[in-house]
Amino acid sequence: MSAPAVHRHAAGPDRAAVQERLRARHRRARTARTAAVWGVRLGVVAAFVLVWYLAGALEWMSPVFISDPASVAGSLAGLVVDGGIWADGWATLSAALTGLAIGAATGVASGLLLGEFALFRRAVQPIVTLANALPRPALAPIFLVWFGLGAGAKIAVSVSVVYFLLLINTLAGVDGVDADRATLARTLGMSRLQRFRLLQLPSAGPAILAGLRLGSVYSVLGVVVAEMVASTEGLGLRLVQATNQFDIAGSFAILFLLALLAFVLDWTVGRLERRLSWGTSPATL
Protein backbone atom coordinates (compact mmCIF):
# COMPACT_ATOMS: atom_id res chain seq x y z
CA MET A 1 0.00 0.00 0.00
CA SER A 2 2.91 2.36 0.59
CA ALA A 3 4.46 2.04 -2.90
CA PRO A 4 1.67 3.85 -4.80
CA ALA A 5 1.74 6.63 -2.27
CA VAL A 6 5.48 7.05 -2.79
CA HIS A 7 4.92 7.05 -6.57
CA ARG A 8 2.26 9.73 -6.36
CA HIS A 9 4.44 11.81 -4.07
CA ALA A 10 7.34 11.63 -6.53
CA ALA A 11 5.17 12.57 -9.49
CA GLY A 12 4.37 15.99 -8.04
CA PRO A 13 7.91 17.46 -8.22
CA ASP A 14 8.37 15.90 -11.70
CA ARG A 15 5.26 17.63 -13.01
CA ALA A 16 6.33 20.94 -11.48
CA ALA A 17 9.79 20.57 -12.99
CA VAL A 18 8.33 19.88 -16.45
CA GLN A 19 6.09 22.92 -16.18
CA GLU A 20 9.03 25.08 -15.12
CA ARG A 21 11.10 23.83 -18.08
CA LEU A 22 8.23 24.61 -20.44
CA ARG A 23 7.91 28.11 -19.03
CA ALA A 24 11.66 28.65 -19.35
CA ARG A 25 11.55 27.41 -22.95
CA HIS A 26 8.66 29.77 -23.68
CA ARG A 27 10.58 32.71 -22.17
CA ARG A 28 13.65 31.89 -24.25
CA ALA A 29 11.57 31.62 -27.42
CA ARG A 30 9.85 34.93 -26.68
CA THR A 31 13.19 36.61 -26.00
CA ALA A 32 14.58 35.23 -29.26
CA ARG A 33 11.57 36.50 -31.22
CA THR A 34 11.85 39.93 -29.64
CA ALA A 35 15.57 40.08 -30.42
CA ALA A 36 14.90 39.03 -34.02
CA VAL A 37 12.19 41.69 -34.44
CA TRP A 38 14.43 44.43 -33.05
CA GLY A 39 17.31 43.19 -35.19
CA VAL A 40 15.20 43.56 -38.33
CA ARG A 41 13.98 46.99 -37.24
CA LEU A 42 17.48 48.27 -36.55
CA GLY A 43 18.69 46.75 -39.83
CA VAL A 44 15.98 48.56 -41.80
CA VAL A 45 16.79 51.87 -40.08
CA ALA A 46 20.52 51.39 -40.68
CA ALA A 47 19.94 50.56 -44.35
CA PHE A 48 17.74 53.63 -44.78
CA VAL A 49 20.32 55.92 -43.18
CA LEU A 50 23.10 54.38 -45.29
CA VAL A 51 21.19 54.84 -48.55
CA TRP A 52 20.32 58.38 -47.50
CA TYR A 53 23.97 59.16 -46.79
CA LEU A 54 25.15 57.62 -50.06
CA ALA A 55 22.49 59.48 -52.04
CA GLY A 56 24.04 62.77 -50.93
CA ALA A 57 27.69 61.70 -50.84
CA LEU A 58 27.61 60.16 -54.32
CA GLU A 59 25.34 62.96 -55.59
CA TRP A 60 22.51 60.67 -56.64
CA MET A 61 20.43 63.62 -55.49
CA SER A 62 21.53 67.09 -54.56
CA PRO A 63 22.36 67.33 -50.82
CA VAL A 64 20.71 70.75 -50.92
CA PHE A 65 17.31 69.05 -51.29
CA ILE A 66 17.75 65.95 -49.12
CA SER A 67 20.34 67.14 -46.57
CA ASP A 68 22.22 64.32 -44.82
CA PRO A 69 21.80 62.26 -41.60
CA ALA A 70 24.49 64.16 -39.67
CA SER A 71 22.95 67.57 -40.42
CA VAL A 72 19.47 66.37 -39.49
CA ALA A 73 20.79 64.88 -36.25
CA GLY A 74 22.47 68.20 -35.46
CA SER A 75 19.27 70.13 -36.16
CA LEU A 76 17.31 67.68 -34.02
CA ALA A 77 19.74 68.11 -31.14
CA GLY A 78 19.46 71.90 -31.51
CA LEU A 79 15.66 71.71 -31.38
CA VAL A 80 15.76 69.56 -28.27
CA VAL A 81 18.13 71.96 -26.54
CA ASP A 82 15.96 74.88 -27.62
CA GLY A 83 13.25 75.27 -24.98
CA GLY A 84 10.71 76.58 -27.48
CA ILE A 85 10.26 73.22 -29.23
CA TRP A 86 8.85 71.69 -26.05
CA ALA A 87 6.07 74.27 -25.89
CA ASP A 88 5.30 73.74 -29.57
CA GLY A 89 5.34 69.98 -29.12
CA TRP A 90 2.95 70.19 -26.20
CA ALA A 91 0.62 72.47 -28.18
CA THR A 92 0.44 69.86 -30.96
CA LEU A 93 0.14 66.90 -28.60
CA SER A 94 -2.54 68.44 -26.37
CA ALA A 95 -4.67 69.42 -29.38
CA ALA A 96 -4.25 65.95 -30.89
CA LEU A 97 -5.23 64.21 -27.64
CA THR A 98 -8.26 66.45 -27.21
CA GLY A 99 -9.34 65.88 -30.81
CA LEU A 100 -8.80 62.14 -30.42
CA ALA A 101 -10.89 61.98 -27.25
CA ILE A 102 -13.78 64.06 -28.61
CA GLY A 103 -13.75 62.44 -32.05
CA ALA A 104 -13.53 58.91 -30.64
CA ALA A 105 -16.29 59.41 -28.07
CA THR A 106 -18.71 61.01 -30.52
CA GLY A 107 -17.80 58.63 -33.35
CA VAL A 108 -18.34 55.49 -31.26
CA ALA A 109 -21.58 56.84 -29.78
CA SER A 110 -22.89 57.77 -33.24
CA GLY A 111 -21.91 54.39 -34.66
CA LEU A 112 -23.67 52.48 -31.90
CA LEU A 113 -26.74 54.70 -32.25
CA LEU A 114 -26.93 54.25 -36.02
CA GLY A 115 -26.34 50.53 -35.62
CA GLU A 116 -29.31 50.24 -33.27
CA PHE A 117 -31.77 52.26 -35.38
CA ALA A 118 -31.64 50.91 -38.93
CA LEU A 119 -34.19 53.36 -40.37
CA PHE A 120 -32.32 56.38 -39.04
CA ARG A 121 -29.07 54.94 -40.37
CA ARG A 122 -30.47 54.56 -43.88
CA ALA A 123 -31.77 58.13 -43.75
CA VAL A 124 -28.49 59.78 -42.72
CA GLN A 125 -26.00 57.50 -44.52
CA PRO A 126 -25.79 59.70 -47.68
CA ILE A 127 -25.22 62.75 -45.49
CA VAL A 128 -22.46 60.96 -43.58
CA THR A 129 -20.83 59.89 -46.85
CA LEU A 130 -20.89 63.44 -48.23
CA ALA A 131 -19.50 64.90 -45.02
CA ASN A 132 -16.72 62.32 -44.87
CA ALA A 133 -15.76 63.10 -48.48
CA LEU A 134 -14.93 66.73 -47.65
CA PRO A 135 -11.14 67.30 -47.79
CA ARG A 136 -9.82 68.23 -44.37
CA PRO A 137 -7.20 70.73 -45.64
CA ALA A 138 -10.06 72.63 -47.29
CA LEU A 139 -11.97 72.69 -44.00
CA ALA A 140 -9.02 74.04 -42.03
CA PRO A 141 -9.37 77.68 -43.22
CA ILE A 142 -13.10 77.58 -42.43
CA PHE A 143 -12.44 76.29 -38.92
CA LEU A 144 -9.83 79.00 -38.48
CA VAL A 145 -12.46 81.61 -39.32
CA TRP A 146 -14.90 80.04 -36.87
CA PHE A 147 -12.54 79.30 -33.97
CA GLY A 148 -9.59 81.65 -34.51
CA LEU A 149 -5.87 80.91 -34.40
CA GLY A 150 -5.95 79.13 -31.05
CA ALA A 151 -6.35 75.47 -30.22
CA GLY A 152 -10.04 75.40 -31.19
CA ALA A 153 -9.45 75.24 -34.95
CA LYS A 154 -6.78 72.55 -34.58
CA ILE A 155 -9.02 70.43 -32.39
CA ALA A 156 -11.92 70.86 -34.83
CA VAL A 157 -9.84 69.57 -37.75
CA SER A 158 -8.62 66.65 -35.65
CA VAL A 159 -12.16 65.79 -34.55
CA SER A 160 -13.41 65.93 -38.15
CA VAL A 161 -10.86 63.25 -39.08
CA VAL A 162 -11.16 60.97 -36.05
CA TYR A 163 -14.96 61.12 -35.84
CA PHE A 164 -15.57 59.49 -39.22
CA LEU A 165 -12.87 56.87 -38.68
CA LEU A 166 -14.48 55.71 -35.45
CA LEU A 167 -18.00 56.03 -36.85
CA ILE A 168 -17.24 53.79 -39.83
CA ASN A 169 -15.28 51.26 -37.78
CA THR A 170 -17.98 51.09 -35.12
CA LEU A 171 -20.67 50.50 -37.74
CA ALA A 172 -18.53 47.74 -39.26
CA GLY A 173 -18.20 46.15 -35.84
CA VAL A 174 -21.91 46.39 -35.13
CA ASP A 175 -22.71 44.87 -38.52
CA GLY A 176 -20.48 41.95 -37.56
CA VAL A 177 -22.77 40.89 -34.70
CA ASP A 178 -23.80 37.28 -35.18
CA ALA A 179 -27.38 37.19 -36.45
CA ASP A 180 -28.27 34.11 -34.36
CA ARG A 181 -27.06 35.79 -31.19
CA ALA A 182 -29.00 38.94 -32.00
CA THR A 183 -32.16 36.88 -32.56
CA LEU A 184 -31.58 34.97 -29.34
CA ALA A 185 -31.10 38.21 -27.41
CA ARG A 186 -34.42 39.53 -28.66
CA THR A 187 -36.12 36.19 -27.96
CA LEU A 188 -34.86 36.29 -24.38
CA GLY A 189 -36.35 39.75 -24.02
CA MET A 190 -33.11 41.63 -23.44
CA SER A 191 -33.47 45.39 -23.17
CA ARG A 192 -31.63 47.75 -25.51
CA LEU A 193 -29.13 48.48 -22.76
CA GLN A 194 -28.47 44.78 -22.18
CA ARG A 195 -28.03 44.10 -25.89
CA PHE A 196 -25.67 47.06 -26.12
CA ARG A 197 -23.59 45.98 -23.11
CA LEU A 198 -23.55 42.21 -23.69
CA LEU A 199 -23.74 41.90 -27.47
CA GLN A 200 -23.04 45.00 -29.55
CA LEU A 201 -20.17 46.51 -27.60
CA PRO A 202 -18.12 43.28 -27.29
CA SER A 203 -18.71 42.53 -30.98
CA ALA A 204 -17.74 46.02 -32.11
CA GLY A 205 -14.83 46.25 -29.66
CA PRO A 206 -12.03 45.01 -31.96
CA ALA A 207 -13.17 47.30 -34.79
CA ILE A 208 -13.41 50.24 -32.39
CA LEU A 209 -9.89 49.69 -31.10
CA ALA A 210 -8.57 49.33 -34.66
CA GLY A 211 -10.20 52.65 -35.54
CA LEU A 212 -8.85 54.22 -32.37
CA ARG A 213 -5.34 53.11 -33.24
CA LEU A 214 -5.62 54.60 -36.70
CA GLY A 215 -7.32 57.70 -35.30
CA SER A 216 -4.43 58.31 -32.89
CA VAL A 217 -2.17 58.87 -35.91
CA TYR A 218 -4.66 60.86 -37.94
CA SER A 219 -5.44 63.13 -34.99
CA VAL A 220 -1.84 64.35 -35.15
CA LEU A 221 -2.09 64.82 -38.91
CA GLY A 222 -5.27 66.87 -38.55
CA VAL A 223 -3.67 69.16 -35.99
CA VAL A 224 -0.56 69.62 -38.12
CA VAL A 225 -2.66 70.51 -41.17
CA ALA A 226 -4.39 73.27 -39.19
CA GLU A 227 -1.07 74.51 -37.80
CA MET A 228 0.43 74.67 -41.28
CA VAL A 229 -2.50 76.72 -42.59
CA ALA A 230 -2.37 79.29 -39.80
CA SER A 231 -1.36 79.08 -36.17
CA THR A 232 0.59 80.84 -33.47
CA GLU A 233 2.31 77.73 -32.09
CA GLY A 234 2.85 74.05 -32.76
CA LEU A 235 5.15 71.73 -34.68
CA GLY A 236 3.22 72.36 -37.87
CA LEU A 237 4.05 76.07 -37.63
CA ARG A 238 7.69 75.19 -37.01
CA LEU A 239 7.69 73.01 -40.10
CA VAL A 240 6.30 75.81 -42.27
CA GLN A 241 8.90 78.23 -40.92
CA ALA A 242 11.74 75.78 -41.63
CA THR A 243 10.60 75.09 -45.19
CA ASN A 244 10.09 78.78 -45.90
CA GLN A 245 13.69 79.35 -44.84
CA PHE A 246 14.79 76.41 -47.00
CA ASP A 247 16.12 74.68 -43.90
CA ILE A 248 15.86 71.09 -45.16
CA ALA A 249 17.72 69.60 -42.20
CA GLY A 250 15.45 71.43 -39.78
CA SER A 251 12.39 70.34 -41.73
CA PHE A 252 13.42 66.69 -41.54
CA ALA A 253 14.12 67.05 -37.83
CA ILE A 254 10.62 68.40 -37.21
CA LEU A 255 9.13 65.65 -39.37
CA PHE A 256 10.98 63.13 -37.23
CA LEU A 257 9.47 64.63 -34.08
CA LEU A 258 5.99 64.49 -35.62
CA ALA A 259 6.50 60.86 -36.62
CA LEU A 260 7.75 60.05 -33.12
CA LEU A 261 4.72 61.75 -31.59
CA ALA A 262 2.32 59.75 -33.77
CA PHE A 263 4.25 56.55 -33.04
CA VAL A 264 3.98 57.05 -29.28
CA LEU A 265 0.22 57.54 -29.53
CA ASP A 266 -0.14 54.47 -31.74
CA TRP A 267 2.04 52.41 -29.37
CA THR A 268 -0.06 53.49 -26.39
CA VAL A 269 -3.32 52.49 -28.07
CA GLY A 270 -1.71 49.21 -29.16
CA ARG A 271 -0.81 48.40 -25.56
CA LEU A 272 -4.38 49.23 -24.55
CA GLU A 273 -5.63 46.86 -27.24
CA ARG A 274 -3.46 44.05 -25.88
CA ARG A 275 -4.70 44.54 -22.33
CA LEU A 276 -8.37 44.51 -23.27
CA SER A 277 -10.08 41.25 -24.07
CA TRP A 278 -11.33 42.83 -27.29
CA GLY A 279 -7.84 42.77 -28.81
CA THR A 280 -7.65 40.08 -31.46
CA SER A 281 -4.19 40.52 -32.94
CA PRO A 282 -1.22 39.27 -30.93
CA ALA A 283 1.27 41.23 -33.03
CA THR A 284 1.85 44.84 -32.11
CA LEU A 285 4.54 47.37 -32.94
Tell whether 281 is covered by a domain. no
State the average pLDDT over residues 34-51. 88
Tell whether 285 is covered by a domain. no
Query: How far, CA to CA in Å, does 176 sit from each of 171, 204, 262?
Result: 9, 7, 29
> Can you give the residue range of the structural domain that contains 162?
67-275
Q: Is the pLDDT assigned to residue 138 strictly greater than 50?
A: yes
Phi, psi (rounded to 5 degrees) for 283 = -95, 125
Total number of domains constituting the chain: 2
Confidence of residue 285 (pLDDT cuts 50, 70, 90): very low
76, 32: one domain: no
Distance of CA 255 to the CA centre of its chain: 17
88, 60: one domain: no
45, 87: one domain: no
38, 76: one domain: no
Among 35, 66, 97, the domain boundary falls at 66
Give CA–CA dist 192/121, Å, rounded.
17
pTM over 0.85? The answer is: no
Give CA–CA dist 169/210, Å, rounded.
8
Confidence (pLDDT) at 277:
56
Phi, psi (rounded to 5 degrees) for 219 = -65, -40
**CB 246, CB 126: distance < 8 Å:** no
Tell whether 212 is covered by a domain. yes
Q: Is the pLDDT assigned to residue 245 strictly greater than 80?
A: yes
Domain of residue 85, CATH code: 1.10.3720.10
Confidence of residue 1 (pLDDT cuts 50, 70, 90): very low
Among 21, 50, 66, the domain boundary falls at 66
150, 188: one domain: yes
Among 9, 34, 66, the domain boundary falls at 66
Neighbours of 63 (CB within 10 A): 15
Confidence (pLDDT) at 4:
52
Helices (H), 117-190: 118-133, 136-147, 151-175, 179-187
Confidence of residue 104 (pLDDT cuts 50, 70, 90): very high
Lowest mean pLDDT among 115-119, 172-176, 194-198, 205-209: 194-198
Q: Is the pLDDT assigned to residue 15 strictly greater than 70?
A: yes
Q: Is the pLDDT assigned to residue 38 strictly greater than 80?
A: yes
Confidence (pLDDT) at 70:
85
Confidence (pLDDT) at 133:
86
Tell whether 280 is covered by a domain. no
Tell whether 156 is covered by a domain. yes
State the average pLDDT over residues 223-234. 88
194, 86: one domain: yes
